[in-house]
């Protein structure tokens, strides 16, 4: 059976990340993700002794978790089976050609009842830039080129945890609106984050000369954020799941409850043939 073509050019992604690391790295989204992961670990109220971080940005995450094993988010993750009680997949799953495979590898690296936390960018990220670029390119060329990577929606990403065999899956998201002096300042920041276009099908020839000027005009007119500022949305998605274990809580079988909800609420349980009460008939 033929293999589907890769969505992302991982060599280009590695070059973009290396370029960002050598320059003035814009790491504020990683700072936000680190804070959120640490907050979730406090809520879990468990001591993790063998943590691992899977990320393409080892320096910033190693500084936040100095006791963790830190490995890159390559297609084959360099973690031994059942070696860690905590794995954090940090700010890279939105670039994975096989996100389920990444999660499966993380699950295999967990000890029974070990915790996986994923921090990633979600589908509402850069909605303003997507719209402005699409309108500008359509006006100038009459068509569209793949310039911004598609990102998963939270309703779909939560299901990946179950597909990967993780128990007690939870997915949540929050949006950060960042203010920039101009759309071009946003593009500069994306370059400094290592988050520029690494789509395998990206247009490799020089774009039309006035494309980005037209994009900036549309963006500035459509998405202002105060005087001489524009808004940019970043959606942070966090996924949590546990390696299966016999000690975990499990849902009750249907019909196994020993008391009725009506008794707890102090009300009368109505059967399917019961008549409405209090004159509520239609």
pLDDT along the chain (282 residues), means of 10: 80 97 94 97 94 97 97 98 98 97 98 98 97 96 89 91 95 96 97 96 88 97 95 98 84 60 58 51 46
pLDDT of 260 reads 61
Q: Distances in Å between the alpha carbon of 120 and those of 125, 143, 187, 190, 254?
A: 10, 30, 19, 15, 35
- Residue 242 has what pLDDT? 97
Is residue 22 helix, strand or coil?
helix
Cβ atoms of 183 and 215 closer than 8 Å: yes
Output DSSP code: residue 95. Answer: G
Q: Crossing angle for the helix pair 99-109 and 154-163, nearest 10 degrees?
A: 50
230-269 residue pLDDT tens = 999 999 999 999 999 887 766 556 665 566 655 655 665 5
Q: Which residues does 235 contact at the CB level (< 8 Å), separation at least 6? A: 121, 122, 123, 124, 125, 151, 173, 174, 175, 176
CB neighbours of residue 279 within 10 Å = 5
The pairs formed by 29-32 with CB atoms below 8 angstroms and a separation of 24 or more are 29/91, 29/121, 29/176, 29/193, 29/234, 29/236, 30/57, 30/60, 30/61, 30/90, 30/91, 31/60, 32/176, 32/236
> pTM of the full predicted structure?
0.86
Cα distances (angstroms) measured from residue 141 to each of 116, 126, 236: 45, 22, 33
Domain ranges of the chain: 10-123+147-181+235-265
pLDDT of residue 65: 98
CATH number assigned to the domain with residue range 10-123+147-181+235-265, chosen from the 4 options 3.40.30.10, 3.40.190.80, 3.40.50.150, 3.30.70.20: 3.40.50.150
Non-local (6+) Cβ contacts of 227 within 8 A are: none
Residue recorded with tokens 């402005």: 132
Q: What is the pLDDT of residue 240?
A: 97
């Amino acid at each position: 059976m033929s293999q589907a073509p890769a969505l992302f050019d991982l060599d280009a992604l590695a070059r973009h990340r290396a370029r960002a690391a050598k320059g003035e790295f814009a790491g504020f989204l990683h700072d936000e993700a680190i804070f959120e992961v640490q907050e979730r670990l406090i809520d879990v109220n468990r001591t993790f002794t063998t943590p691992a971080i899977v990320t393409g940005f080892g320096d910033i995450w190693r500084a936040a978790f100095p006791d963790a094993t830190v490995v890159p988010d390559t297609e084959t993750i360099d973690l031994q089976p059942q070696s860690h009680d905590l794995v954090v997949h940090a700010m890279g799953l939105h670039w994975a050609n096989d996100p389920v495979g990444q999660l499966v590898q993380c699950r295999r690296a967990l000890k029974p009842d070990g915790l996986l936390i994923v921090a990633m960018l979600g589908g509402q990220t850069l909605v303003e830039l997507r719209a402005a670029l699409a309108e500008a390119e359509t006006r100038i060329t009459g068509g569209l080129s793949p310039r911004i990577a598609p990102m998963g929606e939270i309703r779909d990403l939560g299901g990946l945890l179950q597909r990967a065999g993780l128990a007690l899956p939870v997915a949540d998201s929050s949006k950060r609106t960042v203010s920039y002096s101009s759309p071009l300042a946003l593009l500069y920041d994306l370059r400094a984050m290592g988050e520029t276009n690494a789509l395998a099908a990206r247009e490799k020839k020089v774009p039309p000369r006035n494309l980005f000027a037209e994009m900036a005009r549309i963006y500035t007119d459509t998405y202002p954020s105060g005087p001489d500022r524009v808004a940019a949305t970043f959606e942070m998605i966090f996924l949590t799941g546990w390696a299966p274990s016999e000690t975990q809580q499990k849902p009750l079988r249907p019909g196994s409850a020993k008391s009725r909800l009506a008794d707890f609420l102090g009300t009368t349980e109505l059967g399917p043939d019961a008549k409405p009460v209090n004159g509520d008939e239609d």
